[in-house]
Each structure stands twice: as structure tokens, then as C-alpha cells.
Amino acid sequence: MAEKIRAEKTYRPKAETPKGFRDYFGAEVTERKAMLDRIAEVYHRYGFDPLETSAVETVEALGKFLPDVDRPNEGVFAWQEASEGADADWLALRYDLTAPLARVAAQYRNDLPSPYRRYAMGPVWRNEKPGPGRFRQFYQCDADTVGSSSVAADAEICAMLSDALETVGIPRGDYVVKVNNRKVLNGILTSVTGGLERYEVASMTPEERKEYRALELAGLENDPAVDPIMRTLDKFDKVGIEGVRELLTYGRKDASGAFIDGVGLSSDMAQGYVNFLTAKGSSNESTLRRLREILAHSAIGLEGVDELEEMAKLLDCQGYGPDRIVIDPGVVRGLGYYTGPVYEAELTFEILDEKGRKRQFGSVAGGGRYDGLVKRFTGQDVPATGVSIGVDRLLAALRAKGRVTADTTGPVVVTVMDRERMADYMAMVGDLRQAGIRAEVYLGNPKNFGNQLKYADKRQSPVAVIQGANEAEKGTVILKDLILGAKIAEGASLEEWKSRPAQVEIPVASLVAEVRKMLAP
Amino acid sequence: MAEKIRAEKTYRPKAETPKGFRDYFGAEVTERKAMLDRIAEVYHRYGFDPLETSAVETVEALGKFLPDVDRPNEGVFAWQEASEGADADWLALRYDLTAPLARVAAQYRNDLPSPYRRYAMGPVWRNEKPGPGRFRQFYQCDADTVGSSSVAADAEICAMLSDALETVGIPRGDYVVKVNNRKVLNGILTSVTGGLERYEVASMTPEERKEYRALELAGLENDPAVDPIMRTLDKFDKVGIEGVRELLTYGRKDASGAFIDGVGLSSDMAQGYVNFLTAKGSSNESTLRRLREILAHSAIGLEGVDELEEMAKLLDCQGYGPDRIVIDPGVVRGLGYYTGPVYEAELTFEILDEKGRKRQFGSVAGGGRYDGLVKRFTGQDVPATGVSIGVDRLLAALRAKGRVTADTTGPVVVTVMDRERMADYMAMVGDLRQAGIRAEVYLGNPKNFGNQLKYADKRQSPVAVIQGANEAEKGTVILKDLILGAKIAEGASLEEWKSRPAQVEIPVASLVAEVRKMLAP
């Protein structure tokens, strides 16, 4: 008692996962691992090599977050090297897998094969305010091709993404990879906003086209109207086509009744965007035809359409038709970051949300082409294209579909009836393990046998092995079928109960064979 | 040119891995993963469940490093939460996998099965001065049983360690798991230093034994002679038995000629320790007999011997004889941390060190029993025992033995002779991948065909697929056997060259079959 009072006075740290972080137990670990292993097999088959960079980067190399303020850790977890005084480097945890790839592509540019296909899987960290369902450490799974400007590289990533989804257990028809192109969007922005004079693009010489393209890009970058338009188009998924039309013009009431101001475009202009977002036809050919009409006056837009057509052709020749990979101008999300093809994998089946309403599962992966990857380091543009799979979302989808494949069966539990005969129980568990059967001997205090069965239950054990003094004398053991036992408790039929007794007594010598029989499905 | 000069004036961050960190490429990643996957299979079979905690812990929960100084990051990478002012929590990267286990065992103590068997594999971080071969991020691979005071738990871990080593490719006979017991060492320290009166332990009542044991422990903790003795015994591996004898008494010259002061014990006392360190007999039985003689007057020492005997018995009944797991009082390393059985896996084969000298590979894993795991959090002693495998050392051993099993073959490379026919090349690579063959199409600039073959070489590609206009017209492709090509370059025999031409022309339709033939070993 005195001992206890003393203990209570001692300061005790809290045993808590830090805010915004979480722990993964048992099947949560193996299910994710099984999924990532399958994805890695596909990536490997496509010639992608794994890359595992350190979790820590210099803040300087990470970019975005420069050490010109006292604590440069907005958005990242950062700290200063302790040993070297005020000038010491700032280090930080990586916030994605692309920034480390940029550093690696620059650092090893003379040693890596070019093009360099690499995949990376691992945790990343974000220094955000934690909230429900928002974690500060989570997995990313990326594949990128660095050093190829060919749209064949983009097409390959789309095909690989399609294979990866099917390999982890999303059947064909339950997903679609949608492809769009940043250049098409740029073209539509200049065509519709009319920020530039309408050239007769089709009749230009190649030089004029090039110059015009540069004008278009410069115009876009300096046009303050572009950002709000992009953001509005990005809401297509959520508010639908009429919602977009309202938001592009005079504004709209949202679900809560609040009024959201519109961008202020004319109805005609808004119609131009609506035409674009809904340009998806019944086939890739008809989509491409409509886009060519809409973008007739934009050199960069037509360049984007050409790229889309080329990708569709390259995919088609490998058998990836629009049932798997489809051109869809409605894909706007994240376009700002990209310079060419963009793609997004959507799961098309419905699930019930937390309020019991049906909704589409939505996006589980996305990516595209970006050219500024190593420019910060080397000053050179290096073309790159890549995809990132949302690991947690895809795993949630697989769980929703009942497609999670990791073995969650607990171990056979050898119970301890007689502490003095631990060697016998260890021999049994040894035999089971040697035969490849997952098995444990109960290692807690064996006094209370009920606790041992409770333990077996908690472990989701399929079979308990029991040998008391009586059985030991006879050279037998009792096998208790805990799966059937649970079924009977839930009300199995009499036939079932008779045909497969929940408990059998067998000779010790046939332990492995009989357990195996009981474990057979 | 103006462009270039401007670029050179811009500030460019360095593309460098932070000091003390490293990047892992291709086979370095897959080889380690293959090894850890095999170990995980063994752990799974033994009923151990995976646990993946976050990389980040509160400094408070990590222990050791309390936030009572300005920068509590001695030894760890730590930073203060940004949002909450000066009182904000300090966070840190975990420095091992045991501290997070302690936190989890306390936090989830009402939900976890008890005993709780868990394994964990992942990186840990140490804020140390980087040096050659010393990294600040490295992998650990731990398995622990929490909540069992039975030596059966220790025996199980030793058996599992033995299985794990054999499963990853260390053959029986090339390793040994040595077992000792902290209580035996405590016993020898009190027996030999004579810090306590010599009771006639054998004739004590259980109560007297218990009291005497407490006296022994208290005596050890307060005895300033113990630390230098422990440290000296720990050098047995390096200086041998005569070295230990010298260091325990008057001192010794080391290899460089410098004189190392001795501890100052009498020759008799030193002989006591030498007897202990060399107590290993030709069998476990004879080792146990010798230990009983040496420790006849130490209650705690005899308790340790009893535990060793019990472990040997439990292992023996599962077939783990002293050829795999052996009692060895010479194992002293790391004992300070432990409270009961300790174990260490040593590889017994010789390798050549950096100076070309033969030496034993040495220890690759170690562990033991420790009871203070969750006490900091809950105030309660919870018995625990566990092992940590040195991932990098074990991998190095497997490499030294040529036992690394990951597939390092590069992809088949489909070259691009004619940029306009990319769709044909994509179709070929698609067929190969569908057939499960690792394959790539060359995605760089196809102009210089030599570059494509150099690329294939860098990728360690086994086969290059080539189709120029001629072949396309005929409906054929050329397969270039790059492995044989390399062999011929190294001087293959004429027969070899004839029997298996390094280049064949085949119909496109039989591409998959012919490539498969060429890849067959």
C-alpha cells in the first residue's frame, strides 16, 4: 500500500500517440502491406525501380520552405541542426515523395539511367492542425518517369495504374482512369476569356505557332481572371454543370443556403467552359472531335488535343480501351501544377457515406506531367510524369468491396493446463510451427483456464489445443474448434453441429494432421 | 547564352542527402525488403502481430529526453509544436522501437491481448555526429512478448530467432544463439567481489532466500566496483581471457602499446570471473554444473542457473539443441539493461575484413528480458522479453554469403528504331508485361541507337528487342541476348557462341515465347 501511494506521487508521462498521429495494429499493417506489395509487383513488371530516400531532407532541398524565417516549419516538421550554431542547416521531414525525387534526380543525374523510372512507397509528414480523419503522417505510393518528354511515358503510367488497380482487387468496370491535358485547359482559358486576339491558328507557320503559344502562356500567367476560373471549373465534381455555370456568372446558393459570389463572366463565356467540361463524347474519337472544334483558335489547345489523341492511340494498341482509360475534359483537379497530360483514377461504384446516402467512391489516384522537377537545383528543365496513389483511400475502397486479402486468422492456441508440463506444450507448438501452422502456447499465468480461452478469443484463434493430466496419461489432446464454437453460439444448424463436432479428442501423434483438417476451409 | 548566364546567377540549392542520411536504390531496397518479409513470415507463424507506430513521439513519452532544457534533443531529433506557444509539446523522431512499444503497451493495456506478442520493422533516427558507416537513420527489426514472466517466452524468442536466421539464408552451423542470464552475472558479481557475507545459500528457507536476493541486488546497485568490472567482462570478445585477467588486476598494454589501467582486483578475485566467463562446457549440462559450483553461495545466481536450465529444457523438447541455441556465460554485452535471460545471435563463419584479415562475422541480433517497460507510464512492473535484429549487419552477412535472393535482373528493353511506330513498340512491351515479363520501351530520345543500347546496359537488361523498317515489313523482330553478349565480350567459347546465337530474328507473333526462352536459366 505504501508502495502504491509512493507511486501515485511520482510524475508519470502520458502514454499517448502525439496529436494527429496514429498507430497501426495487426491486420491494419498487413493489409496495407499486401496491397502495396501487389502494386510494387506491377511497377516492377513495368521496369520501375524502387527508391527509398531518407525521411529527413534539408529544408533547402525541400524547397517551398526556405530558412529565411526563425522557424521555417510552416507545413513541415523542421528543426535546426544542433551542433553548428545559428548558421546550422535546417532539416525537415519530407512532406511528399516528389521533392525527394527532385533532389535525387539532380544529385545522381550522372549515374541514374535516363529516362529514370522509379517508384517510392512510404510515410510523409505534414505539420497541419490535426482534425478528425486528418493525420499528420500518412503513406504515399508514387511512380514517376524522369527524363522522357514522350507522351508514351504518360500513356505507360496510365496503363500501369489500370493494371495496379485490377491487381489489388478493383475489377474492370469498377474504375476508370480519366485523362486530360493541361494544354487543353490553357487553350480553353485563352479561347474563352479572349485575353488574346483570335488568330487563325490553323493557317500559321510553325514559327508563328510557336510564338503564339508563348503568347498564350504569358497571357495566362498574367491574367488575374484565370485563377478564379480554374478554381470554379475544379468544382464540377461537386456542384455539377449548372452549379459551374452559376458560379462562372452571377453566383449561387450553396447547400447551407449561403450565397457564393460568381466570377462575373458573361453567359456566353460561361457556355464556352460548359461546352468544354461536357465535351466528353460517347467515344474518344467524338471527344477529340468536339475538343478540336472548341479549340480551333488555340495553338496550345490543339497541341494538347494532339497529345490526347496520341496517348489514346498508344493505349489502344495495348488493349487499354476507354472502358479502362478514357479522355475526359471534365478532369480539372490539380491541373495548376502540371504542364501536359494529367490523369486521375476514379472508382465508379457506389458506397454508403456516413449518413447512409449512396455516393460514388471517387478519386483514388492522380498525376500528370510536370517539367520543373530539378530546375531549382540544376537550372535545367527535365521532363517528368508520374502518379500518386492515395494509399488510405484505396485501402478503404478495397475494404468496402470486401477485397482485402491479408490473412487475419489468429494463431492456434495451445493452452496450459499444467504448468509443470510446459515442455510438452512447447513441443506441440513447435510441431505446429514446423508444419507451417501459425501457433502459440499460452504464456500468461495459466491458473485461470477461462482467461486462456478469453485470450484465444481475443486472438481470433481458430483452434484451441487442450491437454490436461487425463489426456496426457492417455497420450491424447483435445482440439476445440473455436470458429465452429462461435458459429454455434450464433445458432448453427443441428446438422452442422453433428457433422463437425466443436471438440474432438485425438492422439498427440496426429496433432498436426487434425489441426490442419480443422483449419481447412 | 544570355539565358545560361542568367541561370548561373540564380541561387541554386544543393542537391544533397542530409549529412548522415542515405538513399537506397533498386536492389538495395528489394533485398532488404525480401529479407524482412521472410523474417515477418517466421514471426507471424509464431503468433506475433505487426505493430506500426508513428515515427513521431512526444519527447515526454520517449523518456530519457525530458523537455526541461531549451533544446531537449540530445541524441534525438526533436522540435517544439509550433502552434501552442512556449508551453507547446516537444515532439521527436523515435530512436528505437522499444520506447514506442512501451508507450503502446501502456496506452492500450486494456485492449491488447495479454501476453502481447508484437513485431515491428522500420526506421529509427539518432541525432549523432555522422561519420563513416554511421548513419542517423537505420532500420530496426524487433520482436517482443509483453506480459509474460515465464522463461518459456524467452525460449520462444530464441527458437524464433534461430528459425528467422535459417529462413533468410544462414544455414544451421553458421550461427549460434548464445543464452546467458543477468541473474547469473549478478550472482557472480556478489560472489566474487564478496560485497556481502557468504551465506550458506543452499540451506536457506524460501523467505531467507528472497531476503538475501534483495540484499544482493541492493548491494550491486550501490557497489561502485560493479561498473568497471561489467565493462571489463564485456571486453572478453575483444581481448580474450588473458586480456580480461590483466584488465581485472594490474592492467594491460593494448595493441597500440598504450597502457590501460586495471580494475585492481586480486588475482584470486580475477580468477573467479575468469572461471565464470569460461564456464561453458562441452554440453549445456556441464555448463550448468560448473555454474552451480561457482554460484553455490548466491541465491540470485542459482535462480539464474535454474532459469537457464529451464530454457534449455523447453528448447530441447522442440529440437533446438546446443548446435543452434547454447548456454554461454561468456555473453556479457548489454547485460546492464536486462533483468533475466539474455541472448545473442552470432554468425560463426569467417569473412575478410577491410584489411584482408579473416575474422568472425560476429553478432547480428540480441535481446533479453526487461521488466521496467511500462513502469514510467503506469507505475507497474510488466514483464517483457524481446530481440532486435541488426538489419544492416544481417543483410551484409547474407551478401557476404551470396545468399541475397532478390531478383536483380533488369527489364527487357524494347528499343525504338522508328519514332513513328511507337504504337507497335508499345504493343510489344504490353504483350511482354501481360505475360508477366518485366519489360520497358525506351522512352528517351530515340535518335541515337547506341544510347539505347547503353541504356539497356545500365538497366542490366537481359534482352533487347529491335524492330527497324525492314523487320517491320517482314513482320519480324530481332532479339539481342545481352547476357550472352556480355559473356562473349568477356570471352565465351566458340561452342557457346554457336549453340546460342547472341542475336536472333523471329516473327513478331512469337515474341513472348522467344523472350521467355532467352530468359530461361
Mutate to test the interface with B, among A3, A10, A17, A455 (most CBs of B within 10 A): A17
Per-residue confidence band for A198, with pLDDT thresholds at 50, 70 and 90: very low
For residue B439, the chain A residues in CB contact (below 8 A) are: 45-47
Alpha helices in A22-175 (DSSP H): 27-45, 59-62, 98-107, 151-168
Each residue's pLDDT tens digit, B132-181: 778 999 999 999 999 999 999 999 999 999 999 999 999 999 999 999 99
Contact B143, B117 (CB under 8 A): yes
Nearest by CB: B57 against A18, A433, A437: A18
**What does the alpha-carbon distance between residue B303 and residue B202 come to, in Å, rounded to a whole number?**
11
Does the annotation place B503 within a ligand binding site? no
Locate cell 453441429: which residue?
A497
**What does the alpha-carbon distance between residue B213 and residue A262 come to, in Å, rounded to a whole number?**
82
| Contacts across the A-B interface (CB distance below 8 Å) | 287
Average confidence (pLDDT) over A243-260: 87
**pLDDT above 70: percentage of residues in chain A:** 83
Average confidence (pLDDT) over A122-135: 86
For residue B29, the chain A residues in CB contact (below 8 A) are: 50-52
From the number of C-beta atoms within 10 Å of its C-beta (0-12, 13-18, 19+), residue B296 rates as middle
User: Helix (H, G, I), strand (E, B), or coil: what is residue A292?
Assistant: helix
Which residues between 162 and 181 in chain B have a beta carbon less than 8 angstroms from any beta carbon of chain A? Answer: 163
Does the annotation place A126 within a ligand binding site? yes
Per-residue confidence band for A422, with pLDDT thresholds at 50, 70 and 90: very high
Please give the angle made by the CA atoms of A350, A351 and A353, to the nearest 5 degrees: 130
Average confidence (pLDDT) over A247-263: 86
Crossing angle for the helix pair A182-193 and A206-222, to the nearest 10 degrees: 80
Contact A190, A220 (CB under 8 A): yes
Q: What residues form DSSP beta bridges with A131?
A: A134
User: Helix (H, G, I), strand (E, B), or coil: what is residue B482?
Assistant: helix
DSSP character for B282? S
Q: B90: nearest CA in chain A?
A: A18
Query: Assign residue A453 a region: left if phi > 0, alpha if psi is -120 to 50, beta otherwise?
Result: alpha
Contact status of B71 with chain A (Cβ, < 8 Å): yes
Q: What residues form DSSP beta bridges with A414?
A: A441, A465
Based on its alpha-carbon atoms, the radius of gyration of chain A, rounded to whole angstroms, reads: 30
Contact status of B73 with chain A (Cβ, < 8 Å): yes
Per-residue confidence band for A231, with pLDDT thresholds at 50, 70 and 90: confident
Q: A376: nearest CA in chain B?
A: B12
DSSP character for A508? G
Contact A360, A183 (CB under 8 A): no
ipTM computed for the complex: 0.86
- All cell numbers assigned to B204: 536457506
Mutate to test the interface with A, among B17, B135, B378, B516 (most CBs of A within 10 A): B17
Contact status of A147 with chain B (Cβ, < 8 Å): yes
CB contact under 8 A, B152 and A424: no
Each residue's pLDDT tens digit, A480-490: 998 876 666 66
Contact status of B155 with chain A (Cβ, < 8 Å): yes
Q: B427: nearest CA in chain A?
A: A318
Determine the pLDDT at residue A197: 42
Q: What does the DSSP assignment read for B348-415?
A: EEEEE-TTS-EEEEEEEEEEEEESBTTHHHHS--B-EEEEEEEHHHHHHHHHHTT---S-----EEE-
**What does the alpha-carbon distance between residue B464 and residue B479 come to, in Å, rounded to a whole number?**
6
Mean pLDDT per 10-residue section of chain B, whose length is 521 residues? 49 90 94 96 96 94 55 74 75 92 94 96 90 87 96 97 96 95 84 49 57 58 65 81 88 85 83 85 93 88 95 95 93 73 92 77 90 84 93 91 77 94 95 95 92 92 95 95 73 59 89 93 72
- All cell numbers assigned to A267: 453567359
**What does the alpha-carbon distance between residue A166 and residue A39 come to, in Å, rounded to a whole number?**
10
Residues of chain A with CATH 3.30.930.10: 27-55+94-400
CB contact under 8 A, B56 and A318: no
Print the SS3 string covering B317-347: CCCCCCCCEEECCCCCCCHHHCCCEEEEEEE
- All cell numbers assigned to A117: 523510372
Look at strands A24-25 and B49-52 and give their pairing. Answer: antiparallel
**What does the alpha-carbon distance between residue A374 and residue A99 come to, in Å, rounded to a whole number?**
9
**What does the alpha-carbon distance between residue A128 and residue B81 come to, in Å, rounded to a whole number?**
10
User: A115 preceded by cis ω (within 30°)?
Assistant: yes
Locate cell 534449455: which residue?
B312
Nearest by CB: A10 against B16, B117, B379: B379
CB contact under 8 A, B159 and A377: no
Locate cell 517482443: which residue?
B144
Q: A311: nearest CA in chain B?
A: B423
**What does the alpha-carbon distance between residue B148 and residue B54 come to, in Å, rounded to a whole number?**
26
Does the annotation place A97 within a ligand binding site? yes
CA nearest neighbour of B298 among B170, B193, B176: B193
CATH of domain A412-519: 3.40.50.800
CB contact under 8 A, B426 and A155: yes
Q: What does the DSSP assignment read for A388-408?
A: EEEHHHHHHHHHHTT---S--
Look at strands A503-507 and A90-93 and give their pairing. Answer: unpaired
**What does the alpha-carbon distance between residue B398 and residue B35 come to, in Å, rounded to a whole number?**
9
- All cell numbers assigned to B284: 549445456
Each residue's pLDDT tens digit, A284-326: 999 999 999 988 888 889 999 999 999 999 999 999 999 999 9
Residue A350 has pLDDT above 60, yes or no: yes
From the number of C-beta atoms within 10 Å of its C-beta (0-12, 13-18, 19+), residue B258 rates as exposed
Dihedral sign for Cα B127, B133, B137, B139, please.
negative
CB contact burial A483-515 (16+ within 10 A = b; e otherwise)? ebbebeeeeeeeeeeeeeebeeebebeebbebb
Report the top-level CATH class of A27-55+94-400. Answer: alpha beta
CB contact under 8 A, B54 and A318: no
The helices-and-strands tally (H runs, E runs) of chain A is 20, 19
Which residues between 74 and 93 in chain B have a beta carbon less than 8 angstroms from any beta carbon of chain A? Answer: 74, 77-79, 82-83, 89, 91, 93
Determine the pLDDT at residue A85: 67
Average confidence (pLDDT) over A177-183: 93
Contact status of A50 with chain B (Cβ, < 8 Å): yes
Each residue's pLDDT tens digit, B414-437: 999 999 999 999 999 999 999 999
For residue A4, the chain B residues in CB contact (below 8 A) are: 379
**Would you mind telling me the total number of residues written for chain B in this entry?**
521
Determine the pLDDT at residue B4: 45
Mutate to test the interface with B, among A52, A73, A325 (most CBs of B within 10 A): A52
Q: What are phi and psi of A414, to 5 degrees?
A: -85, 115
Look at strands B384-390 and B358-370 and give their pairing. Answer: antiparallel
Contact A105, A146 (CB under 8 A): yes
CA nearest neighbour of A98 among A373, A345, A365, A338: A373
Which residues between 345 and 384 in chain A have a beta carbon less than 8 angstroms from any beta carbon of chain B? Answer: 374, 376-379
Interacting residues of A471 by C-beta distance below 8 A, sequence separation 6+: A477, A478, A505
Residues of chain A with CATH 3.40.50.800: 412-519
Determine the pLDDT at residue A32: 95
CA nearest neighbour of A144 among A389, A490, A510, A477: A389
The helices-and-strands tally (H runs, E runs) of chain B is 20, 19
Per-residue confidence band for A272, with pLDDT thresholds at 50, 70 and 90: confident
**What does the alpha-carbon distance between residue A512 and residue A111 come to, in Å, rounded to a whole number?**
53
Contact status of A448 with chain B (Cβ, < 8 Å): no
Contact A312, A288 (CB under 8 A): yes
CB contact under 8 A, A15 and B152: no
Please give the angle made by the CA atoms of A424, A427 and A428, to the nearest 5 degrees: 90
- All cell numbers assigned to A333: 483537379
CA nearest neighbour of A518 among A477, A471, A464, A476: A464
**What does the alpha-carbon distance between residue A513 and residue B32 come to, in Å, rounded to a whole number?**
35
User: A383 preceded by cis ω (within 30°)?
Assistant: no
User: Helix (H, G, I), strand (E, B), or coil: what is residue A359?
Assistant: strand
Q: What are phi and psi of B144, to 5 degrees?
A: -140, 150
Each residue's pLDDT tens digit, A61-95: 887 543 344 444 568 899 888 766 667 888 999 99
From the number of C-beta atoms within 10 Å of its C-beta (0-12, 13-18, 19+), residue B24 rates as middle
